[in-house]
Structure formats: C-alpha cells, structure tokens
Amino acid sequence: MKNTLEVGNRIRNVREGLRMSRSVFSEKINISESYLAQLELGNKSIGINTLIALCEYTGYSSDYFLFGNNVNDDLNKKIIRMVSVLPENSLDLVYEVVRSIKSHIK
C-alpha cells in the first residue's frame, strides 16, 4: 500500500504542477476520472498502459512515477512552470509541438 500511495502522490504532484483538474488530466491520458482518483489516493496500482500514457503526456520517466528518481527533474519543473502559466486554450498546441519534436528525435 505504501508504494501505491507514493506513486499516487507523484501523479498528483505532476497533475497539480500542470494546474490540471482530475477531469482534464484523466481525459488527456485516456483514463476515467475515478481511476485517476483511486491512483492518486493509493487505492489502485498503476497499469502499464496508464504508466506509458503518463510518461508520454507529462514527459516524466517511469522511473520517476514508480520510484521517485528523475535526473531531469529540474528541467522538467522549469518546463512545467513555463507551460502552467499559459492560457488553457494554448495547452493543446504546446502538447502537439512537443509531441512533434519527440517523434522527430526517435
């Protein structure tokens, strides 16, 4: 139970850092709002597909969500802070730009 709670806390911290409601965030990673709530509360274990979606959407590593390790934590926080002050209607555009860059790097 302790591990699921720690994972849930990290998910919630990332979501809140993005200034997103559970409703919006769960939609972005294609899970139900109630499942997200259960994850954040540590009542459910994270599935592999959800973990992958979290990593792809947020840019955080699976190592961060599962174990709290993130060597790029400072850079991620800077980017999150920059994005968090943007108007809500521009977030989809930012996401598409980052996703496009990521696809070209692979």
C-beta separation of 68 from 36 below 8 A: no
Tens digits of residue pLDDT in 22-75: 999 999 999 999 999 999 999 999 999 999 999 888 888 888 899 988 766 667
Torsion of CA 41, 45, 48, 53, to 10 degrees: -10
Indicate the number of domains in the chain.
1
Q: How confident is the model at residue 104 (pLDDT cuts 50, 70, 90)?
A: confident
Q: Report pTM.
A: 0.70
Q: Which two tokens mark 7?
A: 């994972």
Q: Which two tokens mark 101?
A: 């860059």
Question: What CATH number does residue 75 fall under?
Answer: 1.10.260.40
For residue 9, CA distances in Å to 31, 39, 74, 86, 100 come to 17, 9, 18, 24, 29
Per-residue pLDDT at 72: 61
Q: Which two tokens mark 64?
A: 């961060």
What does the pLDDT average to over 73-99? 79
How large is the greatest C-alpha to C-alpha distance in the chain, in angstroms?
39
Domain that holds residue 78: 2-105
